[in-house]
Amino acid sequence: MTVEEFSAEVIALILSMTVNGSIISCFLFVLKPIIKDRLPKSFQYYMWVSVLIALLLPVSKIIAIPVPKASVLPMESIDTIVQRISGTTFEKTVSPGFSPQNGNGQIAPHMPYLPSMAVVLCIVWQIGMVLVLGFYIICYVIYLRRLDRHNTSADRQEIEVLNNLQSSLGINVLRLYKNPMVETPILIGFFHPVVILPDKNYEDTKLRNILMHEITHRKRHDIFVKWLLISVESIHWFNPLVHFVRREMNRACELACDEAVIKGLDRNEMQQYGDTLIAVAADSIRKMPLPIAMFEDKKNLKERLGAIMKYKKQSKRTVLAASAILAMIVCTILGVSTMRSVESGHHYADKFSLEDQMNIREYELENILQKYDEENIVMAKVHLEHLDGEIRKAYISITGHEKNPDSEMINGLTMLASEELELDISNIDLMYIDFESLTSREGGVE
């Protein structure tokens, strides 16, 4: 596979994933007001995982759809195919590595290589991805180092509350610090997460609610999901919709976490939890720096308080039904996209007239024959005779460096052409011309 082909393949995959993810995300944005108060917040959070799957997995490559061999064509550029159809390919002298002879009869050097549009787009995409992801990582590391310089151990009583809560939830991995640099409690750290509180004292109820919220984030692996979102945004940095998806998932994450915390609370304890959110929001005078977007946990306070007051337990039957419907819709979207990818990527012949289809088949076979022995074969030319689309005979001209190729090579090329065209070997007319004789003969013509 050449650099151009590889670049085109990468760009096609990225565009396919971004289109699939955009379609599913638009559907979920439309669905959002309908299910807002009808389904659990955890379901509304995890349903966005389908968007991440579409944005990260090349479904069209994972799902194998059988395609008849005769109708499968190589992924060549449309410009080249159009040139082939219009006959301009036949009008040009093909001589890889060299240009036509100049006036003195000497071989002129080939024009310098210019990267194709696919290569340029692939390079631009990679640069953008590295810049966006690097921006988040660098800012994250800088913020961590600033916090480390001001972290102090929490009080013994506060650490005891944290440990008791962790034990009740079956985890015991978080450490607790205080820091004058933070204005709201945060959970930070991917491999060794810690809870950092502002350098102030909280009454027992508020402290318990704050720590329960952060522990729940840890138990649900929300840090991993948020870094996954940043990775997706880096890959699809050119798609503005992905930025809104990340913000929506962060918002849904907080609502789902609140729901998980209040699930076992009575109405009075829910009120106390809401009061804790208000107190925490009041402490947050300034917003956190933009680079630390994964800590935008205290936004949408009004919506969060409303969700707490309206909380009611949904039946498992409702959740299962909604999950099944969502799964069917997402699978349908991805399935249709996959079918379209197969049709647009491989079935070029279906979009051209009968004569054009023959020209494409000729061009396809020329590429295959030339790759049979790339070091020796300079050029392959194919002309197909057909009747109503049924190939009857193939005339093939092979130009190579060897003056007297062995019969094994000629037979191999003939058999290859026979297999590709599904044509009897007796209907394959193959002629070999050595490159040196061809160029000498052209050079002697005045």
Catalogue all structural domains in the chain, each as residue range(s) with its CATH number: 132-312 (no CATH), 354-443 (3.30.300.30)
- How far apart (Å, rounded) are the C-alpha atoms in residues 44 and 248? 10
Question: Distance between terminal CA atoms of the chain?
Answer: 40
Q: What pLDDT score was predicted for residue 237?
A: 95
Q: What pLDDT score was predicted for residue 435?
A: 77
Written as six digits, the tokens of 163 are 């440990």
- How far apart (Å, rounded) are the C-alpha atoms in residues 47 and 232? 16
- How far apart (Å, rounded) are the C-alpha atoms in residues 273 and 180? 24
Q: What's the residue count for the chain?
A: 446
- How far apart (Å, rounded) are the C-alpha atoms in residues 3 and 266? 63
Question: CA dihedral defined by 198, 200, 204, 210, rounded to 10 degrees?
Answer: -10
- Run of H or E including 385: strand 377-387
Return the closest-CA partner of residue 279 out of 305, 258, 255: 305
Q: What pLDDT score was predicted for residue 74?
A: 45
What pTM did the predictor assign?
0.63
422: left (phi over 0), alpha (psi -120 to 50) or beta: left
Written as six digits, the tokens of 155 are 């009080």
Question: What tens digit of pLDDT does each residue of 221-259 get?
Answer: 888 999 999 999 999 999 999 999 999 998 888 888 888
Q: What pLDDT score was predicted for residue 93?
A: 42
User: Is the distance from CB of 207 to CB of 185 less than 8 angstroms?
Assistant: no
Q: What pLDDT score was predicted for residue 26?
A: 92
Q: What pLDDT score was predicted for residue 125?
A: 94
Residue numbers in the chain where pLDDT is lower than 70:
1, 59-115, 282-302, 314-315, 335-353, 438-446
Helix (H, G, I), strand (E, B) or coil at 436: helix
Written as six digits, the tokens of 313 are 């337990």
Return the closest-CA partner of residue 330 out of 62, 55, 61, 67: 55
